[in-house]
């Protein structure tokens, strides 16, 4: 890691490991907004890691942002940190001033007329607690105050807020940006891939630690070959997911307009890994892993939720398949090896 990445890693992991406690996450799942945690996250500049220094950010790359996003997933931070990182990057790309306060993503069907936005977004993360929402219209980005929005509360499997937001002529700051038309889904899949890679890393380390602590027949269960084999599979899945997410971020830094292939591959890979890893983690932990008192479910429920957001792995696999067919058989090998 370079100097900025080292600072980011120390800052985000130190903050989240200290502040994100079991009680905090449980409280958030019961509807208590962890405002103090969010204030510290903003004070440390973590939501602006991708924002240029001239706009008050860290001027980091997506490879730098991956450190923050993975930490958010590993520590199951119950705040829209990943959403804010992406939202602020989209605003910076469009040249819109980055606002203070909680910002979320609005992925829905909107129309813009006379500088006012109307439409609905289903499943907007933490919209009830957000001051602003960021939406993408074609190749334009809009910053929308949510003060007057109609917000219907909802949750996902992990009990994270996923609210239905209806806008009726809301005033918005809108500017064009050099982005793909499906920018929100594409880059949303990337932030989820990084978060999932972080959560998978947690499952691996937590399962290994538990296997070395839990004894059966007079010795730790981690000494049994069958358990060792399963832990090896879990660790391999977590490592592969992390590499896929890191590679997608690296390629986005190199080719902003042409990293869709790597992002799709990352989302497919982490989705596959989450199915295998969550099963093994719960098998290793046994009955205790299914109890609400144990913290394992905080990560597994998020993995089950996140894999369906911004396109499930099957959707991205279908997209890659259709693109491959449209290119023709002769173009398949050059297309893959060029990356």
Domains of the chain: 3-176 (1.10.540.10), 183-337 (1.20.140.10)
Q: Give buried/exposed letters for 148-164 (b at 16+ CB in 10 A, else e).
A: ebebeeeebebbbbbbb
pLDDT per residue of the chain (339 residues) written in tens, 0 to 9: 888 899 899 999 999 999 999 999 999 999 999 999 999 999 999 999 999 999 999 999 999 999 999 999 999 999 999 999 999 999 999 999 999 999 999 999 898 888 899 999 999 999 999 999 999 987 789 999 999 899 999 999 999 999 999 999 999 999 999 898 899 999 999 999 999 999 999 999 999 999 999 988 889 999 999 999 999 999 999 999 999 999 999 999 987 667 899 999 999 999 999 999 999 999 999 988 888 888 899 999 999 999 999 999 999 999 999 988 998 888 888 877 777
* Encoded tokens for 296: 């394992």
- CB of 159 closer than 8 Å to CB of 122: no
For residue 119, how many other CB atoms are within 10 A of its CB?
17
- CA nearest to 245, candidates 63, 120, 105: 63
- CB of 306 closer than 8 Å to CB of 192: yes
| Gap between the Cα atoms of 188 and 136, Å rounded | 12
DSSP string, 56-77: TS----HHHHHHHHHHHHHTT-
């Amino acid at each position: 890691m370079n100097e900025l990445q080292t600072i980011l890693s120390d800052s985000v992991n130190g903050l989240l490991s200290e502040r994100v406690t079991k009680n905090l996450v449980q409280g958030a799942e019961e509807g208590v907004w962890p405002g103090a945690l969010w204030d510290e996250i903003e004070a440390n500049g973590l939501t602006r890691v991708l924002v240029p220094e001239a706009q008050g950010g860290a001027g980091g790359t997506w490879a730098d942002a991956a450190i923050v996003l993975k930490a958010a997933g590993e520590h199951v931070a119950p705040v829209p940190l990943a959403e804010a990182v992406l939202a602020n990057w989209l605003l910076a790309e469009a040249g819109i001033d980055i606002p203070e306060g909680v910002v979320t993503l609005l992925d829905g069907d909107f129309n813009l007329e006379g500088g006012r936005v109307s439409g609905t977004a289903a499943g907007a993360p933490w919209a009830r607690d957000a001051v602003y929402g960021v939406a993408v219209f074609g190749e334009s980005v809009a910053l929308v105050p949510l003060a007057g929005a109609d917000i219907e509360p909802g949750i996902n499997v992990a009990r994270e807020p996923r609210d239905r937001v209806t806008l009726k002529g809301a005033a918005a700051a809108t500017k064009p940006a050099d982005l793909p038309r499906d920018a929100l889904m594409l880059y949303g899949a990337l932030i989820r891939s990084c978060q999932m890679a972080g959560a998978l890393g947690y499952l691996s380390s937590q399962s290994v630690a538990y296997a070395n602590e839990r004894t059966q027949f007079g010795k730790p269960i981690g000494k049994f070959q069958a358990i060792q084999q399963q832990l090896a599979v879990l660790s391999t899945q977590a490592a592969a997911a992390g590499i896929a997410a890191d590679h997608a971020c690296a390629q986005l830094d190199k080719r902003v307009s042409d990293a869709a292939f790597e992002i799709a591959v990352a989302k497919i890979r982490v989705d596959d890994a989450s199915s295998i890893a969550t099963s093994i983690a719960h098998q290793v932990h046994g009955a205790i892993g299914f109890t609400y008192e144990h913290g394992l479910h905080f990560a597994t429920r998020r993995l089950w939720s996140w894999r369906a957001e911004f396109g499930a792995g099957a959707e991205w696999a279908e997209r890659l398949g259709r693109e491959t067919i449209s290119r023709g058989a002769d173009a398949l090998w050059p297309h893959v090896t060029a990356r």
